[in-house]
Structure 1
Amino acid sequence: MKRLLKYMLVVSCLGVEAVYANMVISPTQMYLGDKARQRSATVVMEATDLTEPKSFEMFAYKWSQNAQGEDVLEPEQDLLINPKNFVLQPKTQQIIRVGFSRPLTKEEMAQERIWRIIFKEIAPVVEEDTLQFLFTISVPLFVGKQDAINVTATPRYQNNRLFLEIENHAASHVQISSISILDQKKQAIATSSEMKYLLNQQKHSFDMGQIKLSDLKNYILKLETDKSEQAIELKMKG
């Protein structure tokens, strides 16, 4: 029996802009702050080298993390998305606006709230026995006050591997994009390129590999985050 095989590629946008299958999405993070009484943010999807149109449907989800640090998404009906459906033609771009029907109050902006905006590709009509790859692209929307970075790092060993538990003590998110352990000569002796969002009061263990540290005060932790263009450095606690 003939079958139509479909594969869904789920991707989360990281960095300033993201390129997926001849498409560019910018920005990869949306923010709504209280400075200009904003009520909407925009994201742009551009077709760079597409040869055929792609259709998308938009969805919004409230985003949280459970006690294990796993992402939890709940459908959100109150967030406005325009357009909800669109067709991206080759060599064109589509602007999508996401927001609320009115400006938010200072009280509503006092603490960060977070959503995930999902671009879900709609399957085109194709011949049977065709293998399809369909994209689901996720862009975060951060609404409200953004606190300064406030994290701690706690080392632990498991099966001769060093894990660093990074805990976010701020009332807003932080995105960790890379971690380096520096010796007294500021040379990196261990690195991790795992990218991870830590929502408020969340933590995550990063695998730094098979490395043995001596006195912790001899080492510095260097973090690349979305909170600053410059890396931050901090001491580890043990």
Structure 2
Amino acid sequence: MTIAIVRGSRRAAAALILAGLAAAAGPAGASSLRINPVSVAVAPDKGSAELRLENADPKPVAVRVTALRWTEADGRDRTEPTRDLVVSPPIFTVAPGARQLIRVGFRNRIPGAAYRLIVEEIPGPRSAGTGISVLLKLDLPLYVIAARSAVATLSWAARRGADGSLIVEGRNSGTLHAQILAIEARNAAGEAIGRSERMGVVLPSSSLAWSLGPATGAPAELVVRTAQGEGHVPVRVAP
């Protein structure tokens, strides 16, 4: 049994076509699911959110949806069980060619909070000769927007890790999450000396760190690519 984990982001297609994973697995018994949207932002005047799941598989697929609270501490993502959200239905079976509406409401609405919605296929009985089963697990973000005027305000710092790698940390003092697509460090001559293409989200009142590798030489600026464009930020390595 194999579990294919897909993490949702703006870079993903509006509908996540998971049949590609099934094709990559060959003749193994993988389902074909589509979900939309892959990133959920609940506006201040909205009391719930909706997702739509479609089963393009010739067999019914059983699915479970779990909500986790998402925070950041010590420059890293953290998740933990939560009762803030109500998912309806939390467990269901989607018939072949059918669609399922998933509603997410609030028991405890926290403006600016973030969550992860784990949408996973529940294993069923295996048919003889099907070989490896590929179970799909989606990890989708849900953001509770604090206000229509909410904005992200990022500041950056750099330091050397214990192994000599260049670590950069973005701190968000704003009220809106900021999605980072890539970060590059450049020296005073404008030459790239380190880069990370790991996508990440800096949550409000939180910080997140990236390793840019050995990065020989002193960085003079960071080139930060976000969903809104590219920014150049002066930076020095902390002594």
TM-score tier by shorter-chain length is 0.7 to 0.9
Residue 76 of structure 2 aligns to a residue in which SS?
A: coil
> Structure 1 157/59 Cα, relative in aligned 2: closer, same or farther at 3 Å?
closer
> Structure 1 187/27 Cα, relative in aligned 2: closer, same or farther at 3 Å?
farther
Deviations 1:9-47 (A, max 9, x none): 33321225334334333222111122xx31111222234
Q: Any conservation in 1 of the 2:224–2:232 contact (CA below 8 Å)? A: yes
Deviations 1:148-184 (A, max 9, x none): 2222222223434322222222244323221123567
> Where does residue 155 of structure 2 map in the other structure?
152
**Distance in structure 2 (CA, Å) of the matches to 1:115 and 1:185:** 41
> Where does residue 234 of structure 1 map in the other structure?
233
Aligned pair partner of 2:61 in 44, 54, 57: 54
**Distance in structure 1 (CA, Å) of the matches to 2:38 and 2:226:** 14
Q: Answer yes or no: is 1:98 the counterpart of 2:107.
A: no
TM-score (norm 2): 0.74
Q: Answer yes or no: is 1:25 the counterpart of 2:38.
A: no
> Where does residue 47 of structure 2 map in the other structure?
39
**Distance in structure 1 (CA, Å) of the matches to 2:225 and 2:206:** 17
Q: Any conservation in 2 of the 1:69–1:202 contact (CA below 8 Å)? A: no
**Distance in structure 2 (CA, Å) of the matches to 1:214 and 1:26:** 44
> Structure 1 160/115 Cα, relative in aligned 2: closer, same or farther at 3 Å?
closer
1:46 partner letter: E
Deviations 1:89-133 (A, max 9, x none): 4444333221248xx9xxx67x31222222121111114795323
Aligned pair partner of 1:88 in 94, 100, 103: 94
> Structure 1 123/186 Cα, relative in aligned 2: closer, same or farther at 3 Å?
same
Q: Answer yes or no: is 1:8 the counterpart of 2:12.
A: no
**Distance in structure 2 (CA, Å) of the matches to 1:128 and 1:71:** 40
1:151 partner letter: L
Q: Answer yes or no: is 1:203 the counterpart of 2:210.
A: no
Which runs of no fewer than 5 residues in structure 1 stay unpaired?
A: 1-5
Residue 38 of structure 1 aligns to a residue in which SS?
A: coil
> Where does residue 222 of structure 1 map in the other structure?
223
> Where does residue 137 of structure 2 map in the other structure?
136
What percentage of aligned pairs have identical amino acids? 20
> Where does residue 126 of structure 1 map in the other structure?
126
**Distance in structure 2 (CA, Å) of the matches to 1:179 and 1:203:** 15
Distance apart, 1:193 and its partner CA: 0.8
Aligned length: 218
> Structure 1 134/181 Cα, relative in aligned 2: closer, same or farther at 3 Å?
same
TM-score (norm 1): 0.74
2:158 partner letter: P
**Distance in structure 2 (CA, Å) of the matches to 1:127 and 1:167:** 50
> Structure 1 213/148 Cα, relative in aligned 2: closer, same or farther at 3 Å?
farther
Q: Answer yes or no: is 1:73 the counterpart of 2:80.
A: yes
Which runs of no fewer than 5 residues in structure 2 stay unpaired?
A: 22-31
1:87 partner letter: T
